[in-house]
Amino acid sequence: MKTIFEKIIAGEIPARIIKRTEDWIAFYDVNPQAPVHVLIVPTRVIPRIGEAADSDSVLLGNLLLAAQNVARELGVTESGFRLVINHGSHGGETVPHLHIHLLAGRPLGWPPG
Ligand code: 5GP
């Protein structure tokens, strides 16, 4: 069974794609929680951060750099942004395909709800 994000990566489901490489894709979240809400998703499925392995370290680093890169391209580096990874039910995870949320465009409250 493909995850919804694998279907987006394969082009089977439309998405507003910002950028893609062999290793990751960045696209706008369909249900934005901030004026800028982008998902950075590895093309290779790791279900969730708690299941990442030592051998995933390069990919994980590249995802953070990708998020930083997309933030700069969208012009939110100066105003600020937040990166979020949800793990498991208490973490709010709904799609079992690791992804980083990039949220920006308004002051974000802390602590999160
Ligand atoms: P999670 O809750 O797992 O951390 O985040 C999953 C995110 O994926 C949610 O913010 C949700 O709005 C987004 N999402 C779910 N289905 C789709 C879809 O089909 N297209 C896009 N662009 N985003 C989706």
Is residue 109 domain-resident?
Answer: no
Q: How many domains does the chain have?
A: 1
Alpha-carbon distances of 101 from 1, 43, 54, rounded to whole Å: 23, 15, 22
Is residue 83 domain-resident?
Answer: yes
Residue 35's CATH number: 3.30.428.10
pLDDT digits (tens, 9 = 90+) for 65-82: 999 999 999 999 999 999
Is residue 69 domain-resident?
Answer: yes
Active site residue 97: no
pLDDT digits (tens, 9 = 90+) for 20-68: 999 999 999 999 999 999 999 999 999 999 999 999 999 999 999 999 9
Range of the domain at 66: 4-104
Amino acid present at 27:
F
pTM: 0.98
| Separation of CA 30 and ligand 1 centre (Å) | 6
pLDDT digits (tens, 9 = 90+) for 76-111: 999 999 999 999 999 999 999 999 999 999 999 999
94 lines ligand 1 (CB under 6 A): yes
Helices (H), the chain: 4-10, 57-73, 88-91
pLDDT digits (tens, 9 = 90+) for 4-22: 999 999 999 999 999 999 9
Q: In angstroms, rounded to a whole number, what is the distance separating the alpha carbons of residues 100 and 112?
A: 16
